[in-house]
Amino acid sequence: MIVPATDARIVITTAGSREEAEDIARNLVDERLAACVNVVPGLTSIYRWKGEVETASEVLLIIKTAAANLERVESALRRLHSYEVPEFLVLAPEASAKPYLDWLLLETGSHS
């Protein structure tokens, strides 16, 4: 059964190494701020930083969390991240399979 996913959020961020990405992911899951974090290595990012165009190898993190945890996730990323300005983009899924949504909310301590 597909249900509205009003309480779920997906946070996108990147890290400079797989080791840093896995450390961030494990901390978020250990602290129940995320039910799951996908660590996707092999990105090349091209971006403007302090007036210069930069190219960097990065690792993508796809963080599955509850809307109620967003401020705590952002705070944890600032604490754990080596970047001066870590990426923090929040996506709101339109819908989810009910069992998956129930699991996500249970694992983040946000189950109603």
Residues 44-71 have pLDDT tens digits of 999 999 999 999 999 999 999 999 999 9
CA 38 to chain centroid, in Å, comes to 8
Q: Does residue 109 sit in helix, strand or coil?
A: coil
- Taking the alpha carbons of 68, 77, 84, 12 in that order, is the dihedral positive or negative? negative
78 part of a folded domain: yes
Residue entry with tokens 């189950």: 111
Orientation angle between helical segments 18-30 and 70-80, nearest 10 degrees: 140
Q: What is the DSSP string of 28-52?
A: HHHTTS-SEEEEEEEEEEEEEETTE
Counted domains in the chain: 1
Q: Is residue 112 part of a domain?
A: no
pLDDT in tens, 18-52: 999 999 999 999 999 999 999 999 999 999 999 99
Task: Tell me: pLDDT of 110 over 90.
Answer: no
Length of the chain: 112
Task: Determine the structural domain holding residue 74 and report its residue range.
Answer: 2-107
Contact at 8 Å (CB) between 109 and 12? no
The CATH number of the domain holding residue 79 is 3.30.70.120
- What's the pLDDT at 55? 97
- Output the pLDDT for position 42: 96
Look at residue 31 and tell me if it is in a domain.
Answer: yes
Q: Which amino acid is at 87?
A: E
d(CA 95, CA 71): 22
Position 4 confidence tier, pLDDT thresholds 50, 70, 90: confident
